[in-house]
Structure formats: C-alpha cells, structure tokens
Amino acid sequence: MKILANDGISDSGVEELKKSGFEIITTNVAQEQLENYINTNNVVGLLVRSATTVRKDLIDKCPSLRLIGRGGVGMDNIDVDYAKSKGLAVINTPAASSHSVAELVFSHLFSCVRFLHDSNRNMPLEGDSNFKKLKKNYSKGTELKGKTLGIIGFGRIGQETAKIALGIGMNVIYYDKFIESVKIELDFIMDKKISFELKTSKLDNLLTDSDFITLHVPAQKNYVIGKSEFEKMRNGVGIINAARGGVIDESELLKYLDNNKVSFAALDTFENEPTPSLKILMNPKISLTPHIGAATSEAQDRIGIELAHQISSILSNA
C-alpha cells in the first residue's frame, strides 16, 4: 500500500512505515496535481503538514484514499468531519511537537525581554559606529523570573509551556474553556520531580494580571485577542502567538505596539500565511519566525514515528 507524505516525513518515520510493509512516497506534489497523482498511483494514505489542504472535493475525487494524516496538532487544513463521514481515518500527532513549540515560545520570550530580536538587526549595521548608543538602547531589559505568564489555551502545548515557565520561577495563570484544573509535573535530572496544581482563571483576570501572554488555541472564526482584550491588558505587556494565524487581530496589535501598551510581540503564525503583512514584518517591536514551532529534528522524528505507528495499526488491521 502506498502512502504519500506530501509535505515530507522524517527518515525515522519512513523506516517505520517500510518495516510495516508500506511503500512511502515523499514526492512533493503541487496542490492542483494531487488528485491526478493520488488516483494514478493508487495512494491509500495522504500525509500532510500545513502546506497541503485536503478539502471535500479532493476527498470525493480520490476513491483510493483510506487515511489522511496531519503531522502536527491543528487540522484546520483538512475537512476532518467530512472525511470521517466518508469512512476515511483521520489522524494527527498531538503530543509529538508540544515541547518544541513551548521551547520556541521561550526562545522568543528570552529574546524580546533583552531586545535580542532588534539588536540582531542593528548590530551588523551600526555595531562598529554606534556601539555606545546601541548599548544604551538595549540596556533596559527585564528578567522573566518572578513575572506572570498568562497562557490562553491549556492543552498539551499550553501545559508544556507552563512547565518551562514554572521551571524558571515564573508565576503561571491560564484560561481554558474546557480544562478546569491541571496537575503539572516537572521532571528534573537525577529523578527529581515537583508538582503544581493549577486552576483556570477568568479570561479578563488573565488579561489584566499577566506580564506576558501566550496563545495556544486552535484556529478560530473570531479573534481571541482584539481591541477590547488589548484594552484590558496591563501596560507594557508582551504577546506571543505560536498557535494559529487569525487568533490575534494584527491591525489592532500594530496600534497597541505603536502606543506602547504592548511592549513587544512574537509571532510564529500570521493572518496571511504565507504572505504576512509588510507592516508586521517590518515592525521593530515584533520578533518573527516563519511557522517553525514543530520544526525541530526531535519533534519531526517523534511525529514520523507516531504517524507510522498509527498508520500501521489502522491500515494493517483494516
């Protein structure tokens, strides 16, 4: 049986699939050519990440498909309910990339509170001629320890983010519509462990009480953070979005960066991917990455292996 990993899969995932007797194809097929390729090659499983979409028309026109897999968490690029109604298995890897996304959040946080995102732009340009000026500009950083991190969305990624925050001495509050309380366990070296009991806060309280806010929610029809939410935040707040584009109103974000209500933003996802707004890209108060939350070697290995195990379990026993 043939599996098309259209947006790629790790070597470890390929090997696991081969061990189970599958033929794995890693050719990247253009979206408009997918239907023909799948039907011509009798592909039974289609694996995607964020680049490829799997909508109703493709599902209807590819009768050989029995499984659709998403390497990652969010499945907004797949018509999941429709695929299931047609008898297709739909799988993802919700746990595999959680830690890598959480580490990216803190890469941005550490960078922004010490202005590294801006200093890395300006040092190559002015470091030899305006060293003292730059030193003065970047000498008012803050520490994360003792500050409050507000986490909106407290699933696997939100909880992994909380672990890092707690581990460096931050206070953590969270808001989640569905998770009332959570026991967070931190694992250290030499088998040392410590647990924290956290309970959900009201969203308004999180907005007013947080020094930094990070979002870990699925794609939404409406903004999670818009004008009214920005107004409730404390002055100088920092905001991170490594979830989905469209959960923050970027036009409003720019306004609140301009008036210094928001001291910085860090964005890994954007309203207009893959062509983010130039105003967002050029703003010196925004730390930018091109949707790489799950893009670590370790995460991709976990994703590939987890997909392979699920595919083997579903298709080998069908």
Q: What's the structural domain count of the chain? A: 2
In whole angstroms, give the CA distance from residue 63 to residue 290: 34
Strand, coil or helix: 90:
strand
Task: Kindly report whether the peptide bond that precedes residue 124 is cis, defined as omega within 30 degrees of 0.
Answer: no
Q: What is the pLDDT of residue 316?
A: 83
Question: Where does the pLDDT of residue 72 fall: very low under 50, low under 70, confident under 90, or very high at 90 and above?
Answer: confident
Task: Write the CATH number for 209.
Answer: 3.40.50.720
Q: Amino acid letter at 97? A: S
Q: What is the pLDDT of residue 74?
A: 81
Question: Where does the pLDDT of residue 95 fall: very low under 50, low under 70, confident under 90, or very high at 90 and above?
Answer: confident
Q: Are residues 89 and 136 in the same domain?
A: no
List, as one string, the DSSP characters of 161-225. Answer: HHHHHHHTT-EEEEE-SS--EEEEEEE-GGG-EEEEEEEPPPHHHHHHH-SEEEE-----SS-SB
In whole angstroms, give the CA distance from residue 16 to residue 303: 12
Answer whether residue 183 shows pLDDT above 60: yes
Q: Are residues 203 and 278 in the same domain?
A: yes
Q: Which of 175, 176, 232 is nearest to 207 (CA)?
A: 232
Q: Are residues 77 and 164 in the same domain?
A: no
Residues acting as catalytic residues: 244, 273, 291
pTM of the model: 0.90
200-230 residue pLDDT tens: 999 999 999 999 999 999 988 999 999 999 9
Average pLDDT (76-87) is 95
Cβ pair 250, 225 in contact under 8 A: no
What's the whole-number average pLDDT of the chain?
96
Q: Are residues 273 and 164 in the same domain?
A: yes
Q: Are residues 252 and 301 in the same domain?
A: no
115-166 residue pLDDT tens: 999 999 999 999 999 999 999 999 999 999 999 999 999 999 999 999 999 9
298-314 residue pLDDT tens: 999 999 999 999 999 99
Cβ pair 33, 55 in contact under 8 A: no
Cβ pair 283, 258 in contact under 8 A: no
6-37 residue pLDDT tens: 999 999 999 999 999 999 999 999 999 999 99
Q: Are residues 158 and 256 in the same domain?
A: yes
Question: Where does the pLDDT of residue 318 fall: very low under 50, low under 70, confident under 90, or very high at 90 and above?
Answer: low
In whole angstroms, give the CA distance from residue 204 to residue 225: 11
Residue 298 CA: distances (Å) to CA of 21, 48, 80, 96: 24, 18, 27, 9
Q: Are residues 89 and 109 in the same domain?
A: no
Residue 29 CA: distances (Å) to CA of 1, 15, 61, 93: 18, 21, 16, 22
Highest-confidence segment of 76-80, 104-108, 292-296: 104-108
Answer whether residue 196 shows pLDDT above 80: yes
Strand, coil or helix: 275:
coil
Q: What is the pLDDT of residue 46?
A: 97
Domain of residue 267 covers 98-288
Q: Are residues 60 and 110 in the same domain?
A: no
Q: Are residues 221 and 128 in the same domain?
A: yes
Q: Are residues 152 and 261 in the same domain?
A: yes
In whole angstroms, give the CA distance from residue 34 to residue 21: 23
Average pLDDT (36-57) is 95
Q: Which of 32, 31, 36, 67 is nearest to 51 (CA)?
A: 31
In whole angstroms, give the CA distance from residue 249 to residue 251: 6
In whole angstroms, give the CA distance from residue 285 to residue 315: 49
Q: Are residues 68 and 201 in the same domain?
A: no
Q: Are residues 67 and 114 in the same domain?
A: no
Residue 305 CA: distances (Å) to CA of 29, 193, 311: 22, 28, 10
